[in-house]
Structure 1
Amino acid sequence: MVRPGTAVATPPQQLPPQQATSSGPRPSVHRPLPNSKFVCGVKGNHRELRELSVIENDNATTTLSSGFRQARVVGGNDALPGEYCWQVALINSLNQYLCGGALIGTQWVLTAAHCVTNIVRSGDAIYVRVGDHDLTSRYGSPGAQTLRVATTYIHHNHNSQTLDNDIALLKLQGQAELKPGVCIICLPSRGSVPETGRRCTVTGYGYMGETGPIPLRVREADVPIVSEGECVRQINAVTEKIFIMPASSFCAGGEAGNDACQGDGGGPLVCEDEGYYELSGLVSWGFGCGRAQVPGVYVKVSSFISWINQIISVNNV
């Protein structure tokens, strides 16, 4: 996470210029996508990625099994290209990286409200880059697309001080084309909460430690879900203010050297359910990065299913 008591955003990071695109099938936020061979919540095909590498280099098998994933300073690993294919990057009009997000429909992205509030107030444009594993590449990942945000829906009860209801829904001008490296994440059931102790995965382009560097590549870390009582106790131990857990939030992490960090804000925390991944949380805020017994705070996506469905049903044109 970021500096004590603040949201997990980061100063804009300049990216190489890339071409905007806009195409794709009709959007859906359901697990089966009607009239489509795509389903939500299925990670990129690791087997095909490995077979491709073996074909290109007969000696690649050992490298892939033992060295392809590189260690991360705040725990976790480099993700495989296209593995977390629902991960998106929010970009401003100066082509600078702002925050993460999750693709929930070919025209819809979820992110944290704190990531977009100021830029919406300023009137600046927001762009979403999908399918891009490495933002430092001038040409982008194969199949990467950049689409402008048409409308930003910040939750009406968002509190910028407490970061309660820290969620925003973005409607894209065009539709993302679903393909290898670009996919949709499943939404959880309304009101559901991952059980305490369950390990879920947080991904993002953010800092590798409290002071950097920022790789701008998709990285992953597995973190445990922390109970509300334990989270409140641990956060109150490191803050001068009394922390009360908002109903719209939950906690995960608290393991030394294993956490989301600055620049990961708005990014997805996903939990596996019978082979599919669900968007349980969005990175919201925390104290430092990867500190023992200091969990991070995440948006509880299941608390907003009705809000999400209402906006999409009225504006899904």
Structure 2
Amino acid sequence: MFGLTIACLVTLFCVSSVYCQIPPGYTCVPAGTCNINNGIDIRIVTPGNVNPCPPGQVLCPISATPTPTPTPTPSPTTCGTRGVANINPADGFATPGAYPWQAYLVNQTGYAGSGVLINPNTVLTAAHKVYMNAATPNQVGVYMGVYDSAQLGLRYAVSSITIHPGFNPATLFNDIAILRLSAPIAPLPQQFINTACLPTAGQSFVGQTCSVSGWGQTAFNVNDAPTRQQKQVGVTIVNYATCYASMSNATLLGTNVNLYLDPVGEICAGGQAMRDACTQDGGSPLVCLVNGRFVVAGLVAWGKGCGQAGVYGVYVNVPNYITWIQNTLATLNG
């Protein structure tokens, strides 16, 4: 469920720490904020040129004072709700709009996994998906409202990546990271975009059947990610003892189980044949319905194969990291 290969990718934007030259008398501002000509965005198009501004920004005359972009306050009354009806509950292909909080991530290699929108400018994901871009967040992009991976829509730029200080890329302990978007998504909720609710610290979902969705491989040995359509599957969260007993089997981790299975920072779910997240689903949210709203219980982290009976998928235990998430957001909001 993890792995990252760095390669080069040509984009429509200038990809380096220094963007293309900005014409004299102009500056870069977030799209939609250039206060001129009734608020339309000024575009300068010359043959062979690309947008010299970072993703999500446009050129604006310096004489036109940019209108400040307000930071929306997430409403607890709308998180975890869907904007579409008639959701198909069966395992398999999801209904478009069923998971409006799921983020589709890309980096310089292309498709890079998933995340979950927790407020208008913050995406939570697995650290193993983004830690190699911690110093180059401009190479990571976020798409929201995606159903078909061939129709991504608007790319949201990432301004910073915060990796949990205890993250261990060898064992995937503390496998959690926060992506800060360059500009907030507004307004929310939308029909196909919304936030998921965060759990309370220490909240337990053991015994509950929850949903995980994404575009990862359809089987462990089938390299077909990202799949065209978003997939979904219901998995039941089990207690640590059950997961430990499975993973300590000699055919799985054996005596190495304590090196990789974190009793505090991870939870396990699934164990049914052909019902599991899989390779390249890393960072995908595991959401549970609580009092009519979907709450983030976990993030896809790792496993042994995919969809084997009696073998559980391992997820980041999001309730264990609520204090870190809140402290990080407070620092970012500064």
TM-score grouping bracket, smaller chain normalisation: 0.7 to 0.9
| 1:91 and 2:106 are equivalent in the alignment | yes
User: Which sits farther off after the overlay, 282-291 or 211-220?
Assistant: 211-220
Q: Distance in 1 between matches of 2:163 and 2:255?
A: 26
Q: What secondary structure is seen at the aligned counterpart in 2 of 1:46?
A: coil
Evaluate the alpha carbon distance shift between residue 112 and residue 252 of structure 1 in structure 2; reply closer, same or farther with a 3 A threshold: same
Higher RCO (CA < 8 A, seq sep 6+): 1
Q: Kindly tell me: are residues 180 and 172 of structure 1, through their superposed partners in 2, closer, same or farther at Cα, counting changes over 3 Å?
A: same
Give secondary structure in 2 for the equivalent of 1:128. Answer: strand
- Normalised TM-score (structure 2): 0.75
2:114 corresponds to: 100
Give the aligned partner of residue 242 of structure 2. 230
1:298 deviation in Å? 0.4
Query: 1:86 is aligned with what amino acid?
Result: W
Structure 2 residue identity aligned to 1:219? K
Distance of aligned partners of 1:27 and 1:260 in 2 relative to their CA distance in 1, 3 Å threshold: farther
Q: CA RMSD in A?
A: 2.9
1:1-317 equivalent positions in 2, closer than 5 A: 2=1, 7=2, 21=56, 26-28=71-73, 31-32=76-77, 39-47=78-86, 76-93=91-108, 96-120=110-134, 125-137=139-151, 140=152, 144-177=153-186, 178=188, 179-195=190-206, 197-212=207-222, 213-214=224-225, 215-237=227-249, 238-244=252-258, 245-246=261-262, 247-316=264-333
Alpha-carbon deviation of 1:31?
A: 2.0
Structure 1 residue 123: deviation in Å? 7.0
**Residues 266 and 223 from structure 1, CA distance in 2 versus in 1: closer, same or farther, beyond 3 angstroms?**
same
The runs of 5 or more residues in structure 1 that have no matched partner are 33-38, 50-67
Q: Taking structure 1 as the reference length, what is the TM-score of the superposition?
A: 0.78
Q: 1:27 to 1:204 in 2, by over 3 A?
A: farther
Q: What is the identity percentage for the equivalent residue pairs of Structure 1 and Structure 2?
A: 33
Q: CA deviation at 1:120?
A: 2.7
Larger Rg: 2
Structure 1 stretches (4+) deviating beyond 6 angstroms? 8-12, 14-19, 22-25
Is residue 134–residue 160 contact of structure 2 (8 Å, CA) maintained in 1?
A: no
Distance 1:184 1:25, change over 3 A: farther
Distance of aligned partners of 1:280 and 1:126 in 2 relative to their CA distance in 1, 3 Å threshold: same
Task: Name the SS of the counterpart of 1:243 in structure 2.
Answer: helix
Deviation at 1:122, TM superposition (A): 6.6
Q: Which runs of 5 or more structure 2 residues have no equivalent in the other structure?
A: 14-50, 58-67
Cα distance, 1:249–1:194 mapped onto 2, change above 3 Å = same
**CA–CA distance in 2 between the matches of 1:89 and 1:163?**
21
Deviation of 1:172 after TM superposition, in Å, equals 0.5
Taking the aligned partners of 1:192 and 1:222, their CA distance within structure 2 comes to: 19
Q: Please, which moves more after superposition, 116-125 or 215-224? A: 116-125
